[in-house]
Structure 1
Amino acid sequence: MIVSLFRPGFYAAEHDPAVPTVIFDGDTVRDATPAALQRGVQVGGGLADAKAILREDGQYVAVDMAQARRRAATWWRALLAYSDLIVVRSPAEALVDLRAHPDPREVAGEMARAVRRSGPGGVAMGLARAAWMADAVRVEVPPDALDLGVYGGGEVEASELARWPVDWLTELTTEERDRLKLLGYRRLGVVAQLPLPALTRAVGKRAWWVQQLAQGADPGALKPNYPPEAYTERWDFGAGCEDRMALELAGDEMAHRLALRLARHDRMASTLWLTMTNEEGQTVTYRRQLAKPVAQAHPLRVFYRQVVDRGLPWPPVRATLSLPRLQGAKRVQRQLDQMVGSSERQDAAETARARVVAAMGVGTIKRACEIEISRRERWLRQWSDAIGWS
């Protein structure tokens, strides 16, 4: 089961509930105080409409997303006790995958109560076997009902799903939903029973996927984004270190370890943090944002040495090199000649090589040492190695 969670009143929690206040983002109303809601302001509506309703009585505050994310970290952390498959959509909204739990409804109730205890704001929740269905059945749960374990959502019967309008299929783009309605396919039951060629003419190559959604299946998988994946390596010097060689050795070793982890898990980093700690526990952090993601030890080593070259405010007792906010790397096969772990692997490599040569011609596959590099490229590589650019 997928749980869709939303925190009504999250953005407005820091404002006086008796004052009609609208929290907006661009031209959209993100949240409003109870006084503004009673006057008819709609969350998700237009800012111009809210101003027309409240006129000079209202207060209008632009949402501070950085501050909202800091506040939201409290209830995001509460979710980690129940699942590590979490998709944070905004500071006030998240999806949680509970399909691995034997009793997801009971776990969802406990999780919702933990979220409510984590800070101000209500709890709206929906449970279903697909994320878009959980969004559709999401309702705000009163605090007293939540304490009693009463909450909405759950399995959606096939007969009920067939009556749902196509507009509820939020996984589709607005253009795709409009095209289906224009062709007369206004209910999910109709879309689910369409012949695949007819549906292909309506939505293109995604026809099979759209039909699976209309039938209540979930062909996709959630892509968790919380907590942000990060790698960290530490080096303890034991005492304040002033020896240049010892400092460089620590940086080389941490860069090497991080590069191995990046390669092992197909990750890349574009943000580098280096924190130095002295004997009194004071810290200083250096940050660098790279122009493009890297997965090698060399850029990490260059960053570390440049910090050391500029001079440290004190002899450090600990160095911490961190790579926050990692991203996926494109998978590549780095070795072919050296696939000699077993005779089967070597035979497979030779067979693959023979097929490529037969199809593309002799000389198609070359060892790295056989590839000729122009003088300009060799010069640029030397320049990159010298100054650390990539």
Structure 2
Amino acid sequence: MGEVIMRSPDHVLSLLEAAVADMAGARAEAVRLMMAEEIRDRLRRDQVMRPLLPLFRDRVDGMQGFVLPVRLRDDLWRAAKRNEPELLPKLDYDDDLARMIADRLCQTAASALRDHGGKIWPGGTPEARQRLARILDVAGIARTSVKRLPDWQGRIGAEEAAELKLALRQAQAVGDDGTEALMEIYYAHLREGLQVLRLAEHAAVLASPSSSLSQGSFTGFVDRVMGALVDKADFIVGFDLSEGPQGVLALRDRLHWLASALKEFEVVVVPRADSVWARTLRHQKLRLSMSLVERFKQADEAVDVLLPQEKTTLAGRMTRAVPHLAAPLDDEQVEQARLLVGILSTTHGPAAAMGCESERRQTVEGIVGRISNWSGEALDLLHKTEVVDGGRLARRRLQVMVDLLQLAGAKDAARTVRRRLASLGAAPGTVPTYSHRLA
């Protein structure tokens, strides 16, 4: 039973604890004691390893990171506590002594990893073990400084700069790669990895000797952001409408991230015009712009398909095109138009960063104008003439036009069409709106 408890993940251990809480008997009491001891040990482990805990989880932003296997956390803890078990009870308190002991145990784990790395982390490469050992060396510095991460974003004052400079100097004193190891811990604690650009820029300036972000020891973190930028650009270029509304929302999130990343590179990194970074940025912006412009054209065409016309005789041989009120409505075409206009709407903002806002705005204005004109004429005809199906298909199509106008951000135009449509009475078989799904 003890082996089962020791190997149970934290969430399973909580379930087991609840399951045996009300059980009676000597065996149940023994199990409760074993579980209490295991839980206490894990709390101590987490206190000691707190600066490193984000390294044992996949990044939520999908960016590349130095992610460690969860089981390694427990193996490091066993190596850290093996030689000085008498110190462990002092970890149960939240005071300076407990933090000193936690730092000492991290250093013990680093030494054990260097001496017995093949046993502690058999799946790790020698380079990865050395890197982790150095991270353990600077864990104590991160323990006291990681809480200052929010203060080190954007412009920093003299006090914040002094604190970051002190942390970097302490890490550098540990070893030549100490500052990179400390930055690795900071990066793991950043929920949005894009923030590492400003942090690394401050670190490069404050490091000794001072350097630029493009020449210092933190260029690897810039490369990670660049890699994420390329991956997200690939998603945008290869996006398939079959992914539906949720796919459009994912596309929106990536577009806004890309716009922020491009701005950060321009403001923070400022790569040389002939550098690999600059060439990559230019290429990705061109790819994104061309891809979005193509989507804008598709949206324009998809809306046109939903605005059917037919010729009517005015006098003699004179004819003019008017809305075809009884034209069949294709649900697939409607869905495609909604998705494409949704993309058109979600690119507001990001399109400027990618150099195609003018094309986007012109497309929106053209679509809104054509929908408004067609809808106005269709409503006039419905008031004046008798339609074969009583206007059922026309009402349904007009409701689709309201949805498309809302998706395009033309709220006033959508309101006008909706009010005029309501004045005609209920529309049988009206399709449900999708606007809220892409808002």
The normalised TM-score by structure 2 is 0.22
Higher normalized contact order (CA 8 Å, seq sep 6+, divided by chain length): 1
Structure with the largest fraction of strand: 1
The normalised TM-score by structure 1 is 0.24
Structure with the largest fraction of helix: 2
